[in-house]
Amino acid sequence: MGRGVVLAGFLVVAMLACLRGAAATEYVVGDSRGWTASPNITVGYYDEWAANKTFRGGDTLKFVWNGTHNVAIVSKEDYDNCTKVISVFYGGEAFSVTFPTDANGPSYFISTVDSDCENGQKLAINVVSSAASITALSVLVLVLSSIMAMFMN
Ligand SMILES: *[C@@H]1O[C@H](CO)[C@@H](O)[C@H](O)[C@H]1NC(C)=O
Ligand SMILES: *[C@@H]1O[C@H](CO)[C@@H](O)[C@H](O)[C@H]1NC(C)=O
Ligand SMILES: *[C@@H]1O[C@H](CO)[C@@H](O)[C@H](O)[C@H]1NC(C)=O
Ligand SMILES: *[C@@H]1O[C@H](CO)[C@@H](O)[C@H](O)[C@H]1NC(C)=O
């Protein structure tokens, strides 16, 4: 019994360590192109960039750029309209946002400089909560640990 419990405990710790690593991903928006505008990108570039990615609570979006750009977190309406909102995040040539672990739903980002937003410097993503998958995995770990513990007896 003793060895089984120790092994089970070790498994739980190992799985939790994996989960912590897996739960938080940092995405550089636009990869090597960064957060940029025409002529470096065309309309739809950031939609394509986001298309194959699953953004989860706890993940970080890092915007990096050269030149005159900014980041504004906006509503869907302002995203659709490329509204030049007042509250804007400059942060030099980089800006990071980390989603709360229980984040769930869409987020919209635009640049409010010139016509950059109209020309494609806008990002819409959907964040899915990481809570559900972590709960499912935790249950799986508990079940596996119990089975291991039984065999070690
Ligand atoms: C910014 O410029 C530097 C120097 O040219 C370059 O190495 C870097 O990749 C550029 N970053 C972006 C996001 O364009
Ligand atoms: C286009 O990319 C180059 C190289 O990274 C950069 O120096 C330039 O500022 C970018 N242009 C815009 C409009 O972001
Ligand atoms: C998205 O994934 C599909 C299938 O894996 C691939 O064909 C497509 O090129 C990917 N798109 C982007 C923008 O990476
Ligand atoms: C967005 O644009 C539409 C159509 O031009 C307009 O009806 C709507 O009022 C605008 N919304 C905002 C928040 O500016």
Residue with the bigger pLDDT between 15 and 152: it is: 152
Quick: pLDDT tens for 27-82. Answer: 999 999 999 999 999 999 999 999 999 999 999 999 999 999 999 999 999 999 99
Q: Is the CB of 83 under 6 A from ligand 4?
A: yes
Distance CA 23, CA 96 (A): 17
Structural domains in the chain plus CATH codes: 25-130 (2.60.40.420)
From ligand 3's centre to the CA of 52, what distance in Å?
6
From ligand 2's centre to the CA of 33, what distance in Å?
8
pLDDT average, residue stretch 95-118: 95
Contact 110, 35 (CB under 8 A): no
- Identify the pLDDT of residue 39: 95
Q: What is the pTM of this model?
A: 0.76
Return the H-helix or E-strand segment holding 131. helix 131-152
- Identify the pLDDT of residue 119: 96
